[in-house]
A and B are shown apart, each in its own frame.
Chain A
Amino acid sequence: MAAAAHADDLARLGELIKSRLREAGAPVRRVSVSWINSDPAAAELLVEVVLPDPEKEKQWGQRGTWKPELVSEMRRAIRTATAEYMPWAVSTPRFVPVGG
C-alpha cells in the first residue's frame, strides 16, 4: 500500500525538499522526513527543517524568530514537493533552530 511501500522514499523526498528550499534561498542545514501517520487513508508526514538560530544569525531573524516571508516561502516549497512526490500524503513542516 502507498504509505508502507514508500517508506524508503522518505529520504528521497527529504532530498527533494532540501534542494527546493535551497533554490528558494532558504538557509537550510538539514531536512528529515518521518511519518506522523502512515495510515494510507490519513497519511501525514513530519518535515523537520533545521535552520540557523534566528537570534544568533540576525539576517534570517526578526523579533526572535525567522522572517515570515522566509517561512512562507519554505512552506510553499515543502507543500509543492510533497504534492508532487507523495500526493496521497499531507506534510506538516517543523522549523527548528540549530541545536534544538
Chain B
Amino acid sequence: MPQGVTQDHADPGRLLDHASRLLRPQGSGRRPTSDTRRAISAAYYGAYHCVTGAAAKLLFDANALHGVRWLTHSAVDGAGRLVTQHGPKKAADPGHGPEVARVHGLWTMFQAIGGASDELLEAVEVLRALKAERERADYDRINKLSPATGRALVADARWIVKLFSSARVKQDDFRIYLSLVALKA
C-alpha cells in the first residue's frame, strides 16, 4: 500500500480557477482567443478528473489517485451514452435476446430505481458537451469561440465538480453510472 498522503496535482477545483482567470477581463483590451481556448480545455479536464476521481474512489478508495489512470475519456463518454439512452424512466425496453442482454440489464436496474435522476441525465450531457467543446478549442483552428461560451462552459464544469464531489455520488443512479465508467475502461 502507498505510504503517506498522495497529493493531487491536477486538482479539479484548481483547474477551474485557472480557467476562470483566463476568461477574466484584463484592463480595457480583449484577451487573446487562445485564452478562451485554454480555459475551455481546462474546464473539460477539471470535470473529467472529478468524474474519474469519483469512479476511482468507488473502486480503489484511498488509492484512488493511483488507480484513476485506468479510466479513460471514451469510458466516461460511453457510460454517459448508455445513461442517456437507457436511464430515463420513460426509456423503451431494449427487448430480450443475447445481443441486448447487457443493455436490458442496465435498463432493468434504472427502472428498479425509478429511472436516472434529472441531475444525472443533465450531467452526462454536460460532460458530452464539454468534451466536444474541448476538441473544438484544441483542434478547430478556423471557427471562433466567444468568451461568453467559455464562461458558460466553465460554469458547467463547476457544476459537474460540485455534483461529483457531493454525497450524490453515493446514490443508486450515480453508482450505476460510475460503475459503467469503470466497466467501459
Hey, which bits of chain A sit against chain B, CB under 8 A? 36, 42, 44, 46, 53-55, 63-66, 68, 71-72, 75-76, 79, 83, 87, 90-97, 99-100
Contact of A79 among B125, B132, B143, B146 (CB under 8 A): B125
Contact call B125/A92, Cβ cutoff below 8 A: yes
Contact call A71/B128, Cβ cutoff below 8 A: no
Given the known inter-chain contacts A90-B128, A93-B129, A100-B146, please indicate yes or no for A76 contacting B118, CB distance below 8 A: yes
By CB atoms of chain A within 10 A, which of B84, B92, B143 has the most?
B84
Total number of residue pairs linking A and B with CB closer than 8 Å:
64
Does B144 touch A at the CB level, under 8 Å? yes
Bound form: Cα–Cα A46–B155 in Å = 20
Task: Give the chain A neighbours of B148 by CB distance below 8 A.
Answer: 53-55, 64-65, 97
Task: Give the chain B neighbours of A55 by CB distance below 8 A.
Answer: 148
Task: Give the chain A neighbours of B132 by CB distance below 8 A.
Answer: 36, 46, 92, 94
Bound form: Cα–Cα A76–B148 in Å = 21
Contact of B125 among A46, A64, A93, A100 (CB under 8 A): A93
Task: Give the chain B neighbours of A63 by CB distance below 8 A.
Answer: 151, 155
Bound form: Cα–Cα A46–B118 in Å = 20
Distance (Å) between the CB of A12 and the closest chain B CB? 20
Contact of B149 among A42, A76, A87, A97 (CB under 8 A): A97
Contact call A90/B129, Cβ cutoff below 8 A: no
Does B152 touch A at the CB level, under 8 Å? yes
Within 109-160 of B, Cβ neighbours of A (below 8 Å) are at 118, 121-122, 125-126, 128-129, 132-133, 143-144, 146-149, 151-152, 155-156, 159
Given contacts A97-B146, A100-B143, 18 further A-B contacts (CB under 8 A): A44-B128, A46-B132, A54-B152, A63-B151, A64-B23, A65-B152, A65-B155, A66-B152, A71-B152, A72-B122, A75-B126, A79-B84, A79-B121, A92-B125, A92-B132, A93-B125, A94-B132, A95-B149
Contact call A64/B151, Cβ cutoff below 8 A: yes
Distance (Å) between the CB of A5 and the closest chain B CB? 19
Contact of B81 among A46, A65, A66, A90 (CB under 8 A): A90
Instruction: List 5 interface pairs A-B (beta carbons < 8 Å), by A numbering.
Output: A42-B81, A44-B128, A53-B148, A93-B129, A100-B144
Does B88 touch A at the CB level, under 8 Å? yes
Bound form: Cα–Cα A93–B85 in Å = 16
Bound form: Cα–Cα A94–B145 in Å = 12
By CB atoms of chain A within 10 A, which of B91, B92, B146, B148 has the most?
B148
